[in-house]
Amino acid sequence: MNIKTIGVLTSGGDAPGMNAAVRAVVRTGIFNGLNVLGIKKGYHGLVHGDITEMSLSSVADIIHRGGTTLQTARSKEFMTEEGQRKALNIMEVFGIEGLIVVGGDGSFKGAVELARKGARVIGVPGTIDNDIPFTDYTIGFDTAVNTVVDAIGRIRDTTSSHNRANIIEVMGRNSGCIALHAGLAGGAESIIIPEVRYDIDEVCKRIMQGRNRGKLHSIIVLAEGVGGAFEMARTIEEKINVETRVTILGHVQRGGSPTAFDRIMASRLGARAVELLMEGQTTKMVGFYNNKVHEVDLEKVLAAKKKFPSEMYALAKILSI
Ligand code: F6P
């Protein structure tokens, strides 16, 4: 298909690697003779026409940067029918024939709404939560997991010195993916996630088992979707008399230079998104599945739920006895 102008925006919570995806969109677009417009602050910029022409140099020196230089937002206005109409009008005014949305499921819902009203859209999964189906990973997840693993190492040092337990709360919204991956990589005694019911007596038993064989620290990784870290710490202290601290990692997990994995995946997904628009495709998500870039219907993505890796959870449990 002969399109001339495409737009790109980043939306929802930022994720390390979003810049690499935008860079890939801009450079692939320009390489293929397209005009590429950068929309600032996600859908907010689309509703209000906060749009700039991108050049090769507007994405120079960003592949290694965390955050998103296009900035992002969670636009309430865009959720309304009127907001979406305004956005469509802006797309027409700026001649945007195809829109690439880098974001999570909330952003994809918005993209589908635009598509239902006639826009051409392609989604690129960017969220640290890794809660999007039909892609093994989302942009930013690998970096966030590495940040958490680094934090676990630091917390383990001080926890050992004091012979304590530490509950480390990590992000992920309703998904336990960050907790599971970081907990396995960090050797946590217990990983508490929304996908699996937990028993506080088992958590205590694991702490005591470790201590009885001379372990100086106990690390519990808790997903924010379960929550209740401080109450859990009090219960552990009451039940087994082990001093327990809480660390809520928060937004530290969202920042920082993206890992090579995130940069490479973001580059591949961003480039493929442009190709799909040039092929005349719409309402698709580009994903990374079995080590390959593929595309899938965006509506199918929204209707599905990501499969929980129960075998990985079981393995983490065995390895932390
Ligand atoms: O979706 C990414 C995420 O970081 C979640 O893990 C977290 O629950 C949420 O965003 C936090 O949102 P905000 O940055 O708006 O506080």
- Over residues 244-261, the mean pLDDT reads 98
Which of 222, 254, 286 delimits the end of a domain? 254
Decide if 320 is inside a domain: no
In whole numbers, what is the pLDDT of the chain averaged over residues?
97
pLDDT value of position 241: 98
Decide if 74 is inside a domain: yes
- Over residues 295-320, the mean pLDDT reads 96
Q: Which residue lies with its CA nearest to atom 3 of ligand 1?
A: 13
Q: Are 13 and 119 within one domain?
A: yes
For a substitution probing ligand 1, which of 171, 177, 178 has the most ligand atoms within 8 Å of its CB? 171
pLDDT value of position 93: 98
Task: Tell me whether residue 94 is exposed, middle or buried, using C-beta atoms within 10 angstroms of its C-beta: 0 to 12, 13 to 18, 19 or more.
Answer: middle
pLDDT value of position 165: 98
Q: Which residue lies with its CA nearest to atom 7 of ligand 1?
A: 173
Phi (first) and psi of residue 213, to 5 degrees: -105, 25
Q: Are 89 and 212 within one domain?
A: no
Q: Are 158 and 110 within one domain?
A: no
Query: How many Cβ atoms are within 10 Å of 5's Cβ, its own excluded?
Result: 16
Q: Which residue lies with its CA nearest to atom 1 of ligand 1?
A: 13
Q: Concatenate the DSSP letters of all residues of 25-71 into one string.
A: HHHHHHHTT-EEEEETTTHHHHHHT-EEE--GGGGTT-TT-SS-TT-
Q: Are 11 and 149 within one domain?
A: no
Q: Are 213 and 115 within one domain?
A: no
Decide if 50 is inside a domain: yes
Query: Which DSSP state fits 4?
Result: -
With contact defined as beta carbons under 8 Å apart, do 139 and 269 qualify? yes
CA–centroid distance, 127 to ligand 1, in Å, is 9
Decide if 129 is inside a domain: yes
Q: What is the pLDDT of residues 51-64, one digit of tens each?
A: 999 999 999 999 99
In the set 129, 131, 142, 262, the catalytic residue is 129
Decide if 316 is inside a domain: no
129 labelled catalytic: yes
Residue 296 has pLDDT above 90, yes or no: yes
- Over residues 229-243, the mean pLDDT reads 98
3-state DSSP call for residue 9?
A: strand
Residue 1 has pLDDT above 90, yes or no: no
Q: What is the pLDDT of residues 207-228, one digit of tens each?
A: 999 999 999 999 999 999 999 9
Q: Are 228 and 292 within one domain?
A: no
Q: Are 196 and 276 within one domain?
A: no
Q: Are 224 and 108 within one domain?
A: no
With contact defined as beta carbons under 8 Å apart, do 11 and 256 qualify? no
Q: Are 130 and 269 within one domain?
A: yes
- Over residues 95-109, the mean pLDDT reads 98
Q: Are 66 and 173 within one domain?
A: no
Decide if 96 is inside a domain: yes
Decide if 32 is inside a domain: yes
- Which atom of ligand 1 is nearest to 172's Cα? 6
- Over residues 89-97, the mean pLDDT reads 98
pLDDT value of position 321: 84
- How many structural domains is the chain composed of? 2
Q: Which residue lies with its CA nearest to atom 8 of ligand 1?
A: 173
The CATH number given to whatever domain includes residue 246 is 3.40.50.460
CA atoms within 13 A on the CB side of 113: 18
For a substitution probing ligand 1, which of 44, 76, 128 has the most ligand atoms within 8 Å of its CB? 128
Q: Are 154 and 111 within one domain?
A: no
Q: Are 128 and 266 within one domain?
A: yes
Per-residue pLDDT band at 287 (split at 50, 70, 90): very high
**What range does the domain containing 224 cover?**
142-254
- Over residues 8-13, the mean pLDDT reads 97
Q: What is the pLDDT of residues 182-193, one digit of tens each?
A: 999 999 999 999
With contact defined as beta carbons under 8 Å apart, do 264 and 293 qualify? no
pLDDT value of position 233: 98
For a substitution probing ligand 1, which of 11, 14, 129 has the most ligand atoms within 8 Å of its CB? 129
Decide if 58 is inside a domain: yes
pLDDT value of position 138: 98
The CATH number given to whatever domain includes residue 54 is 3.40.50.450
